[in-house]
Amino acid sequence: MTTLRNSVQLIGRLGMDPETFKFSENKNKVKFSMATSDKYRDKEGELQEETQWHNIIAFGKTAEIAEKYLKKGKEIALSGKLTYRSWEDKDGNTKYITEVIAHEFQMLGNKN
């Protein structure tokens, strides 16, 4: 059960092509945004859709595969873990971000 301590599974569509960062010849990272949507009926019975945007990052072989095969609009299922980080911008303000570190993903839909 230790793998359930920080586990995320998402199905959604990429909001952008993966952006690649190379740290050295053997170390790389990709980042992209992903949208997930839920549909529900409100108290008046009207169908509503709520979309959440997620910041996704991947490293190593997972990053290489994402860079090669994923494109904006592609539907994927992924599993990973949540991470939080902060940094100071050029004006000295502290910024915070929540990201999903993707361990693996599967492309869904047709092969186009």
Residue pair 33/18 in contact by the 8 Å Cβ criterion:
no
At 59, list the tokens. 């490293």
Q: Which domain holds residue 88?
A: 2-107
Q: Write down the pLDDT at residue 26.
A: 79
Q: What is the pLDDT along the chain (112 residues), one digit of tens a residue?
A: 556 789 999 999 999 999 999 887 778 999 999 999 999 999 999 999 999 999 999 999 999 999 999 999 999 999 999 999 999 999 999 999 999 999 999 999 876 5
The per-residue pLDDT for 27 is 87
Number of domains in the chain: 1
- CATH, residue 64: 2.40.50.140
In angstroms, the CA 89 to CA 92 distance is 5
**pLDDT confidence of residue 23:** 84
- Asked whether the beta carbons of 55 and 97 are under 8 A apart, the reply is yes
Q: Is residue 112 part of a domain?
A: no
Specify if 74 maps to a domain: yes
Residue 26, sorted as left (phi over 0), alpha (psi -120 to 50) or beta, turns out to be alpha
